[in-house]
Structure 1
Amino acid sequence: MSAVLEPRSNAATSKPSQPTELWYTRCPVPTASGIAQHQRWLHGAFARQGIRLESIRASQDRAVRESHFRHSLPGSFREGGNVPPIWTRSRGQDTVVLAITWVDEQQLVLVPEGSGIRNVAELRGKRLGLVKKQGTELVDVGRAEGLRGLLTALRLNGVGRDEVQWVDLPSAEWELREDRTPADQRKHIPTEALLDGRVDAIFVKGAGSAIALQRGLRAIFDINEQSNPLDRVSAGSPRPVTVDRQTLQDHPELVDQYLAVLLKTAQWAAGDPDEVVRVIAAETGAAEAAVRQAFGPKLHLAFEPQLSPVYVQALHDQKDFLLAEGFIPQDFDVDAWIDPRPLVRARELVSQVELKA
């Protein structure tokens, strides 16, 4: 299947022809895009215009699947964790942030059940585990996630990063394919290292936290309990919704439509909390009970794409963190990365959206 938009007319003043296919990708976490594609509402909206919507991570072509990280595929949308889109923008890829979503989730510092460690202050001198991917040029999302979580927990409890021992946990290259293996059957390197005694504490967030607790681990701190949202910034939230700039320039009406479906999906989610849990369980591969535990009773209210000042500031903060810790190669202007106009236009279209496959 071609990953290239239809050829454009040579006439400088003519509008580029409509593409016959568009692409989307989302992380295996709660997202508006995940719900909308799971229900086939995004597919239906574009199919009625003669456009196929294809999943990047379901492609048989690794170069296509890598666009989940690189955002290199023309005609593609992405919603998910913030590390890959910040990384790829830092590397010069011309993408645009259209909106941001935010799903609060458990962010736990875990120790073995039988450990005598009672709180973060008692981690001084202890071994904290961080994954380190092997054999890949892609950004190490797992390491960025763990480091942000552990450093946040240490800071909030007055412990310096040099007061603990950092232990690298070698991990295989990221699997880019969609994975239907149940989450509790997937190998989680930090959990294994904690259970076999190689480290004294790890960080786990989201549905994985509920699974880790079932395996005999104990939480000594939950970052998600912090009242200041900027203290809850992680690799997972804020979640930017991005598109390649060329698609926005050539086909703004299609970008507006994508966002309008997400906005309508968020409205639907707010009225059906039980169905949201079912869909997110399917998206994450976790049991419904784990979804409820990890994301809380207000999950169904968390899917509205916004560009609120707090969401934007959180994106700034995460970019600054990734730059300071060497995960991205160069700085860039986050405000210039954001274009608020499509979201404004999309809000005007929501009443016309029909959620049907």
Structure 2
Amino acid sequence: MIDILERPSASAPAPVKVGAREAWYTICPTFVASNVAQEFGWIEEELRKIGASLSYLRSLPVEQGYLPHFSHRFAHLFRDGGNIPSIWAKADNVDTTLIGLTETQHGGTIVVRADDAARSVAALKGRRFGLSRSANPARIDWWRATSEQGILKALALAGLSRADVEIVDIANDDRGFGEASRPSELWAKRRGDLVFTPEARALEAGEIDAIFASHGRALGLERTGGFKQVEDFSRHPDWALQVSNSPYALTVNTDFARANRDIVVAFLRATVRAARWLDGNREAGAAILHRVTYHPSVADTAAAIAGTDFLPALTPRKLAGIDLQKRFLVEHGYISRDFDSRDWADASYLDEALESLPS
């Protein structure tokens, strides 16, 4: 049996042929256990036990492997990481199943230049906030969605609204980048780009006055001496403020999952093994996660994951985080169709994986 990925068109590359027992994966540069499982080779190990194989989506040429990372329009695909593309994929692209969520610990920051007199977001009333705008119409502008959500949260905390500041679009021409054999190889090539984003460069040049940045990016910018934070969502007890392209979503194409339940369970077994290993090996885990994420140093990574629960789950609060994210995407026009996250989620695969492993 051969499955065809993406329908061919006059301008599209030839579709990729995939064997019936071949699973593919893609993982964002985020703090999720699957990133450790793949670095250890545990996912491949678990799949080999049941006669299946594993391939990395980004090992394909960019024209074949880049867009499916966002759209999920690639048969037999597991995707773990930021939930905005996963929600968009489910809403507007292809039927997927949510099989796990990992909760993030940090909702992001607002960053200004170090020489700015502002010491708070309230002091930025009437100033210019940079907001990335992708030049790639074929994928969801997840970067813009994440930043817009963060900016609006920060303004609300300061008693301000969007009308109180000027939003300046910053062009982002990211249309994909080269292939790699595994995530650590891919992100090693991109570490600097992930910190000095187009918005950060516009801020440095004085074209804007403030940007939203994730915790890791903010640390990298601060270390240059040219930037500072005036808001840090992690200082607030409100867990909803930490929803920022998170909770991280582990999804799989539904047709593939139904036809290959054992492969899905095997993938989750490896992920659970990695989560449990991380619980008892935080320092060693930080060194591994540093290869596939972008905090400035291993020590920064260790500090960032100190309180992280890496075991994927579909708990009520994690699903409520998905609802908050989805509501924002619907209300701001990032997705065209709403759906019930409880119907999207299927905990039976994770339950089976947990039951098959020693406690």
TM over 0.5: yes
Q: CA deviation at 1:115?
A: 0.3
1:226 equivalent to 2:227? Answer: no
Q: Identify the residue that residue 13 of structure 2 maps to in structure 1.
A: none
Cα displacement (A) at 1:176 = 5.1
CA-CA distance at 1:173 after TM superposition: 2.5
1:310 lines up with 2:291 in the alignment:
no
The reply to whether residue 251 of structure 1 matches residue 260 of structure 2 is yes
Q: What percent of counterpart residues are identical?
A: 27
Instruction: Note the alpha carbon deviations across 1:115-136, whole angstroms, 9 max, x for none.
Output: 0111011111010000101143
Partner of residue 83, structure 2: 82
Q: Deviations for 1:328-356, whole angstroms, at most 9, x for unmatched residues?
A: 1121222211112112212101229xxxx
Shift of 1:63: 2.5
1:147 equivalent to 2:148? Answer: yes
- Separation in 2, partners of 1:103, 1:311: 10
1:328 matched to which residue of 2?
A: 335
The answer for the alignment partner of 2:227 in structure 1 is 217
- Structure 1: gaps of 5 or more residues: 6-17, 353-357
* Count of residue pairs brought into register by the alignment: 335
Partner SS state of residue 331, structure 1: coil
Amino acid at match of 2:281: D
Q: Which position in structure 1 is the counterpart of 2:22?
A: 21
Pick one of 256, 276, 280 that aligns with 1:267. 276
Note the residue ranges of structure 2 that are not aligned, 5 or more in a row: 6-18, 179-185
Q: What letter is aligned with 1:221?
A: E
* Cα separation, 2, equivalents of 1:92 and 1:134: 20
Distance 1:262 1:100 in 2: 12
Instruction: Measure the CA separation in 2 of the matches of 1:276 and 1:321.
Output: 33
Report how far residue 111 of structure 1 moved. 0.7
Greater shift in the superposed pair: 282-291 or 24-33 = 282-291
Q: Supply the distance in 1 between the matched residues of 2:310 and 2:105 (Cα, whole angstroms).
A: 11
1:76 positional shift: 1.2
Give the C-alpha shift of residue 151 in structure 1.
Answer: 0.8
TM-score relative to the length of structure 1:
0.88
* Change in CA separation of 1:292 and 1:137 when aligned onto 2, cut-off 3 Å: same
Report 1:100-139 matches (<5 A).
100-105=101-106, 107-139=108-140
Which whole-Å deviations, capped at 9, do the CAs of 1:4-36 have from their partners, x for residues lacking one? Answer: 49xxxxxxxxxxxx9331101110121111111
For 1:209 and 1:296, locate their aligned partners in 2 and report how far apart those are by CA, in whole Å: 16
1:57 counterpart residue number: 58
The separation in 1 between residues aligned to 2:136 and 2:347, in whole angstroms, is 38
Q: Could you tell me how far apart the structure 1 residues matched to 2:93 and 2:21 are?
A: 27
Query: For 1:201, which of 183, 207, 210 is the aligned residue?
Result: 210
3-state secondary structure, aligned to 1:319: helix
Cα 1:135–1:265 change in 2 (3 A) is closer
Aligned to 1:31: 32
Give the secondary-structure state (helix, strand or coil) at the position aligned to 2:339. Answer: coil
Q: Distance in 2 between matches of 1:249 and 1:133?
A: 35
Q: Given that residues 46 and 53 in structure 1 are in contact (C-alpha distance below 8 angstroms), is that contact kept between their aligned partners in structure 2? A: yes
- The one-letter code sitting in structure 2 at the alignment partner of 1:78 is R
Runs of 4+ in 1 over 6 A off after TM superposition: none
Q: Distance in 2 between matches of 1:82 and 1:174?
A: 20
> Could you tell me how far apart the structure 2 residues matched to 1:176 and 1:110 are?
27
Distance 1:66 1:247, change over 3 A: same
Q: Indicate yes or no: 2:345 matched with 1:338.
A: yes
User: Which secondary structure does the structure 1 equivalent of 2:61 belong to?
Assistant: coil
Q: Which moved more, 1:64-73 or 1:95-104?
A: 64-73
1:51 CA drift (Å): 2.0
The residue type equivalent to 1:162 in the other structure is: A
**How far apart, CA to CA, are the structure 1 residues paired with 2:358 and 2:67?**
35
In the TM superposition, 1:233-244 aligns within 5 A as 233-235=243-245, 237-244=246-253
Distance 2:192 2:66 in 1: 24
Aligned-residue offset at 1:179: 3.6
One-letter amino acid of the structure 2 residue matched with residue 330 of structure 1: R
Counterpart pick for 1:180 among 171, 188, 191: 188
Using a 3 Å threshold, how does the CA distance of structure 1 residues 47 and 309 change in structure 2: closer, same or farther?
same
Q: Describe the SS at the equivalent of 2:328.
A: helix
Within 2, Cα distance between the matches of 1:126 and 1:283? 35
| 1:124 aligned partner, one-letter code | K
- Check the 8 A contact 1:58/1:65 in 2, yes or no: no
Quote the RMSD (CA, aligned, Å).
Answer: 2.0
In 2, are the aligned partners of 1:238 and 1:315 still within 8 Å (CA)? yes
Indicate conservation of the 8 Å contact 1:67/1:73, yes or no. yes
Q: Which amino acid aligns with 2:168?
A: V
Contact 2:113 2:209 in 1 (8 A): yes
- SS at structure 2 position matched to 1:86: helix
Measure, in 2, the Cα distance between the counterparts of 1:116 and 1:206. Answer: 22
8 A contact 1:82–1:240 mirrored in 2: yes
1:23 partner amino acid? W
TM-score, structure 2 as length reference: 0.88
